[in-house]
Chain A
Amino acid sequence: MDTNAVIAYISGVRALLSQYFEYILAGAGVTLALTVSSVGIGLVFGTLIALGRLSRFPVLRYAASAYITFFRGTPLLVQLLLVYMGLPFLLGTSIERWPAAIAALSMNSAAYIAEIVRAGIQSIERGQREAGLAIGLRPRQVMTLIILPQAFRRIIPPLGNEFIAMLKDSSLVSVIALEELLRRSQIVVTRTFRPVEVYGLTALLYLLMTSVIAHLVGRIERRLSVEGYGVVDKAGKQSRTAAISANPS
């Protein structure tokens, strides 16, 4: 390959970066902000919906099931368009991009998190609940003081997955003109006509963010792990003591 061509290419890419890197990076900030707020809100509502699914009252159970069925069973893209393009016609008033995006993303996230939390709650041994009741705690206290704290420790890995999935799915809000990472990259491509470099950079930035999240989730998991109670030990390996204590023979 011609050295002059290589030099020209490198200087072209440098010009591209100096002109647009900050612009694209700011889009990554928007992506992160969208993800953190949506998963945060989703975690609160998802937990409530999970409790609804496990409720003694059939009305709550059916309502929670219906919610999960709808939001898990329809594409996030459709939900976004329904909220941003559809809802204004029903309400007769406009909705800004940010509230529309966070509403759609967090409602969607809540459905997935509800199932994660429900599985976590149901994974706690029945004896825990019985013991709590036996020492005189009310059912609500048993849930908030004994079951939920243990359940949350167990569901950190799937919650981390949900966070990573949401970070990637948040790119869909580009269809409602919110300028997150992907939309900003698309805008740059329509100006520079360099999809390889721009989308390559975009992919790297997504990868960087998901890797950092995966690392953080791993650290939290290790910090919250309890010796002898499964999950992982400090080295991040499956705890052997847990396996032994579960099978005393």
Chain B
Amino acid sequence: MKKMVAFIKPLSFVLLCLLCLAVGSGQAWAQQVLKVGSDITYPPFEFIDDKTKEPTGFDMDLIRAIGKVMGVQVQIINTAWDGIIPGLITGNYDVIISAMTITDERAAAISFSDPYFSTGQVIAVRKGSKGISEPAHLKGKRVGVQIGTTGHFAAEKVQGAMILTFQTMPEAFLALKAGQVDAVVADEMVAIEEMAANPGQTEIVGEPFTVEYYGIAVKKGRTDLLKKINLALAQLKVDGTYDAIYQKWFGVK
């Protein structure tokens, strides 16, 4: 009998835990959840806040505002960039917001919302280094990029540039600061943020040399969801929320 009791005690505890879980998840179902995939290594668009340890940034504020308009709860899922599109296709999350440029190749695999941000690729170098001021100068140089980004694709278009692909943008910038690459090709705002975060180490040379638009992505065929996102995006632009978020992160309108 004693043995029985010793056995039942932990068993009932486990059952209690399972019950709690079931009740908990039941409550979560009460409000619909929008799962959002994002590569949280991309300040100022998506990064981990130093203090709260929560995902923050322009994209994060925007998607949370969109979620509010849609009446859903936003759950951010941190995802490596090189697997972010396959993850959307397999259904690990409902949308991607990750400073993703709308390109023809990507649009063939997934669907994009209306553009919500315009940017361009810039070249960043170590402060004071000479000889690179436009894409043609990257010939014969070691160029750091984040794997599979439009910066990667733009750098590949320069004949004779030696491309070094890194997993994240901070790693590419670290390689630049360490002298392991001569230049980094990155989205303009990301290069500006890097310059601001570590003053005196890197600088942007020349002007943006591409024109690109970020879009929120959904799996092909989810037209209802896409429509809702576009509607929410349009509303945020009209009611001033978009401008407020823009001002918060970039200081200007």
B174 contacts chain A at the CB level, 8 A cutoff: yes
Query: B87: nearest residue on chain A (CB-CB)?
Result: A195
Q: Tell me whether A191 and B148 are in contact (CB under 8 A).
A: yes
B44 contacts chain A at the CB level, 8 A cutoff: no
Q: Tell me whether B147 and A187 are in contact (CB under 8 A).
A: yes
Q: Tell me whether B174 and A186 are in contact (CB under 8 A).
A: no
- Which residues of chain B come closer than 8 Å to A88, judged between CB atoms? 178-180
B78 contacts chain A at the CB level, 8 A cutoff: no
Q: How far is the CA of A230 from the CA of B175 in the complex (A)?
A: 52
Which of B66-74, B127-135, B162-170, B234-242 lies at the interface? B162-170
Q: Tell me whether B89 and A193 are in contact (CB under 8 A).
A: yes
Q: How far is the CA of A194 from the CA of B90 in the complex (A)?
A: 11
Q: Tell me whether A189 and B83 are in contact (CB under 8 A).
A: yes
Q: How far is the CA of A96 from the CA of B253 in the complex (A)?
A: 43
B196 contacts chain A at the CB level, 8 A cutoff: no
Q: Which of A93, A174, A193 contacts B86 (CB 8 A)?
A: A193
Q: Which of A84, A97, A177, A187 contacts B148 (CB 8 A)?
A: A187
- Which residues of chain A come closer than 8 Å to B109, judged between CB atoms? 193
Q: Which of B82, B165, B171, B178 contacts A94 (CB 8 A)?
A: B178
Q: How far is the CA of A177 from the CA of B147 in the complex (A)?
A: 9
Q: How far is the CA of A28 from the CA of B150 in the complex (A)?
A: 26
Q: How far is the CA of A175 from the CA of B81 in the complex (A)?
A: 14
Q: How far is the CA of A95 from the CA of B166 in the complex (A)?
A: 16
A53 contacts chain B at the CB level, 8 A cutoff: no
Interface membership of chain A positions 83-97, coded 1 if the CB is closer than 8 angstroms to chain B and 0 otherwise:
011101100011101
Q: Which of A85, A187, A190 contacts B178 (CB 8 A)?
A: A85
Q: Which of B104-149 contact A (CB under 8 A)?
A: 105-106, 109-110, 144, 147-148
Interface SS, B side: helix
- Which residues of chain A come closer than 8 Å to B81, judged between CB atoms? 190
- Which residues of chain B come closer than 8 Å to A85, judged between CB atoms? 171, 174-175, 178, 180
Identify which of A89, A175, A177 gathers the most chain B CB atoms within 10 Å of its CB.
Answer: A177
B76 contacts chain A at the CB level, 8 A cutoff: no
Q: Which of A182-227 contact B (CB under 8 A)?
A: 183, 186-187, 189-191, 193-195
Q: How far is the CA of A66 from the CA of B5 in the complex (A)?
A: 52
A179 contacts chain B at the CB level, 8 A cutoff: yes
For residue A90, give the distance in angstroms from its CB to the closest CB of chain B.
10
Q: Which of A177, A183, A186, A187 contacts B175 (CB 8 A)?
A: A177
Q: Tell me whether A186 and B147 are in contact (CB under 8 A).
A: yes
Q: Tell me whether A175 and B167 are in contact (CB under 8 A).
A: yes
Counted as pairs of residues, one from A and one from B, with CB atoms less than 8 Å apart, the total is 60
Interface size class on chain A is 20 to 34
Count contacts on B: residues with CB < 8 A to the other chain: 24
Q: Tell me whether A97 and B164 are in contact (CB under 8 A).
A: yes
Q: Tell me whether A179 and B165 are in contact (CB under 8 A).
A: yes
Q: How far is the CA of A187 from the CA of B164 in the complex (A)?
A: 11
Q: Tell me whether A186 and B178 are in contact (CB under 8 A).
A: no
Q: Tell me whether A95 and B82 are in contact (CB under 8 A).
A: no
Q: How far is the CA of A193 from the CA of B164 in the complex (A)?
A: 21
B85 contacts chain A at the CB level, 8 A cutoff: yes
Q: Tell me whether A93 and B179 are in contact (CB under 8 A).
A: yes
Q: Tell me whether B86 and A177 are in contact (CB under 8 A).
A: no
Identify which of B86, B105, B110, B166 gathers the most chain A CB atoms within 10 Å of its CB.
Answer: B86
For residue B86, give the distance in angstroms from its CB to the closest CB of chain A.
4
Q: Which of A86, A95, A193 contacts B85 (CB 8 A)?
A: A193
Q: Tell me whether A89 and B178 are in contact (CB under 8 A).
A: yes
Q: How far is the CA of A93 from the CA of B178 in the complex (A)?
A: 8
- Which residues of chain B come closer than 8 Å to A186, judged between CB atoms? 82, 147-148, 165
Q: Tell me whether A190 and B147 are in contact (CB under 8 A).
A: yes
Interface membership of chain B positions 147-189, coded 1 if the CB is closer than 8 angstroms to chain A and 0 otherwise:
1100010000000000011110001001100111000000000
Interface membership of chain A positions 123-160, coded 1 if the CB is closer than 8 angstroms to chain B and 0 otherwise:
00000000000000000000000000000000000000
Q: Which residues of B contact A (CB under 8 A)?
A: 81-83, 85-86, 89, 105-106, 109-110, 144, 147-148, 152, 164-167, 171, 174-175, 178-180
- Sample (10) of A-B pairs whose CB atoms are under 8 Å apart: A85-B175, A85-B180, A97-B164, A97-B180, A175-B166, A177-B166, A186-B147, A191-B105, A193-B110, A194-B86
Q: Which 7 interchain pairs have the tightest Cβ spacing?
A: A190-B148, A177-B164, A94-B179, A88-B178, A195-B86, A193-B109, A193-B85
Q: Which residues of A contact B (CB under 8 A)?
A: 84-86, 88-89, 93-95, 97, 174-175, 177, 179, 183, 186-187, 189-191, 193-195
